[in-house]
């Protein structure tokens, strides 16, 4: 789980999920605003998309499973991805976009 950049407080899974939906959240311990780091945001997006693309292409190519079965598996697969994602986030005290600090 990620730690606050100011006070090194370990965030809970619920707090990280709120942060991932809003993009910013105050630390529960020191009340300083925290953001998802740009590198963390990139890698979480990359691995989430690859987690969908690679298994579906592998299953269709080698096992000839139809698209309808793959779409039926998504409601099972999506909660698993959401359970694991908060463990890969890193926090930042500043909000950056395209290498420039915002706010």
What is the DSSP-derived secondary structure letter of residue 91? E
In this structure, the number of other CB atoms found within 10 A of the CB of residue 89 comes to 19
Q: Which of the pair, 99 or 71, is modelled with greater confidence?
A: 71
**Local confidence band at 52 (pLDDT 50, 70, 90 cut-offs):** confident
Domain residue spans of the chain: 13-95
**Buried/exposed 9-43: b ≥16 CB within 10 Å, e otherwise:** bebeeebbbebbeeeebebeeeeeebbbbeebbee
Q: Which of the pair, 42 or 62, is modelled with greater confidence?
A: 42
The CA distance from 73 to 20, in Å, is 24
What pLDDT, on a 0 to 100 scale, did the predictor assign at position 10?
92
- Threshold 0.85, pTM exceeds: no
**Collapsed DSSP state (helix, strand, coil) of residue 9:** coil
């Amino acid at each position: 789980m990620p730690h606050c950049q100011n006070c090194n407080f370990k965030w809970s899974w619920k707090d990280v999920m709120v942060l991932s939906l809003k993009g910013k959240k105050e630390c529960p311990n020191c009340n300083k605003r925290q953001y998802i780091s740009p590198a963390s945001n990139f890698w979480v997006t990359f691995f989430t998309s690859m987690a969908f693309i690679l298994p579906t292409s592998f299953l269709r190519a080698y096992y000839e499973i139809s698209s309808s079965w793959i779409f039926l598996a998504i409601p099972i697969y999506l909660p698993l991805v959401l359970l694991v994602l908060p463990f890969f986030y890193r926090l930042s005290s500043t909000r950056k976009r395209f290498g420039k600090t915002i706010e």
